[in-house]
């Protein structure tokens, strides 16, 4: 009788262990499927081969071999093997003072190249939305960036860059580009970036204004990498 009880107890224990393993395997399978679905979504716009350039989300329609970089492109900024280039697609003229430019980002480790944008000379600036002494930047579509005759890295992880130009022959238009999100924010500044503090994640940009009694001044303001106004950095200085 005791032997039967022992055998019955062992059978129950083995059965429970088997059920537990099946449950664990099922849970693992669901987790794995979920992970794979997430991974697929990361690469849905690029090559699902697991290779990522500079840790940036891939978008294959804009990706090239480094050898395809236009020979006229000029290096703008570099961080080890990561390089920013600007190429003149169309020289400036009377109708288009800024011309047309393209911006490229290269990863020399893998001989890979991305075309970030091509400027659009018909784009207009949302100045009305950026009025006021404490105005924030405004998001604009990537295909409506008017100027990019210069470019530089803006963040330590190299996921954000700043491009600038003077498409109207008067104001310097400044854009923060998020390479991962394919998003652009135009800053309300009109005289360009003066400094980028990567440690603080701040961009110092200058703007001009006019005194009530006449005359023009320049003032520096700090913005976050998301284009938010942070503070006025300096007192207005007469020009």
Q: Is 216 within a domain? A: yes
Same domain, 66 and 182: yes
What is the per-residue pLDDT for 6? 44
What is the per-residue pLDDT for 59? 52
Same domain, 138 and 223: yes
Same domain, 152 and 223: yes
Burial label, 131 (beta-carbon count in 10 A; 0-12, 13-18, 19+): exposed
Same domain, 18 and 90: no
For residue 90, the domain's CATH number is: 2.40.128
Look up residue 46 and give its two tokens: 């690029």
Other C-beta atoms lying within 10 Å of the C-beta of residue 222: 19
**DSSP letter assigned to residue 37:** H
Residues of the chain under the 70 pLDDT cut: 1-61
What is the per-residue pLDDT for 124? 95
Same domain, 161 and 194: yes
Among residues 80, 75, 82, which one has the least CA distance to residue 54? 82
Same domain, 67 and 141: yes
Q: Domain tally for the chain?
A: 2
Per-position b or e across 98-117, b if 16+ CB within 10 A of its CB? bbbbbbbbbbeeeebbbbbb
- Name the residue with tokens 């262990």: 17
* Rg, the chain, Cα only: 27
What is the per-residue pLDDT for 49? 35
What is the per-residue pLDDT for 106? 97
Burial label, 174 (beta-carbon count in 10 A; 0-12, 13-18, 19+): buried
What is the per-residue pLDDT for 138? 98
Instruction: Give the domain range for residue 30.
Output: 1-42
What is the per-residue pLDDT for 57? 52
Same domain, 91 and 31: no
pLDDT in tens, 58-83: 555 578 999 999 999 999 999 999 99
What is the per-residue pLDDT for 105? 97
What is the per-residue pLDDT for 95? 79
Please tell me the pTM assigned to this model: 0.76
Q: Is 53 within a domain? A: no
The residues, any chain, with a CB within 8 Å of residue 190's CB and separated by 6 or more, are 171, 172, 206, 207, 208
């Amino acid at each position: 009788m005791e032997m039967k009880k022992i055998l019955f107890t062992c059978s129950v224990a083995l059965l429970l262990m088997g059920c537990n393993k099946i449950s664990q395997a099922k849970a693992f399978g669901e987790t794995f499927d979920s992970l794979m679905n997430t991974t697929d979504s990361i690469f849905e716009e690029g090559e699902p081969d697991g290779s990522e350039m500079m840790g940036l989300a891939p978008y294959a329609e804009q990706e090239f071999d480094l050898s395809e970089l236009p020979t006229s492109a000029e290096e703008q900024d570099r961080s080890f093997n990561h390089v920013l280039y600007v190429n003149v697609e169309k020289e400036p003229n009377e109708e288009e003072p800024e011309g047309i430019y393209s911006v490229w980002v290269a990863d020399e480790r893998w001989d890979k190249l991305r075309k970030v944008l091509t400027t659009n000379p018909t784009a207009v600036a949302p100045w009305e939305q950026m009025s006021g002494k404490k105005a924030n930047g405004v998001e604009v579509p990537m295909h409506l960036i008017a100027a990019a005759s210069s470019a530089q890295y803006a963040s330590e992880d190299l996921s954000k860059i700043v491009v600038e130009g003077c498409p109207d022959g008067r104001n310097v238009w400044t854009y923060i580009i998020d390479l991962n999100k394919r998003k652009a924010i135009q800053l309300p500044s009109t005289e360009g970036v003066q400094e980028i503090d990567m440690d603080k994640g701040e961009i110092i940009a200058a703007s001009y204004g006019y005194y009530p009694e006449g005359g023009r001044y320049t003032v520096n303001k700090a913005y976050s990498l998301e284009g938010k106004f942070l503070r006025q950095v300096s007192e207005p200085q007469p020009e």
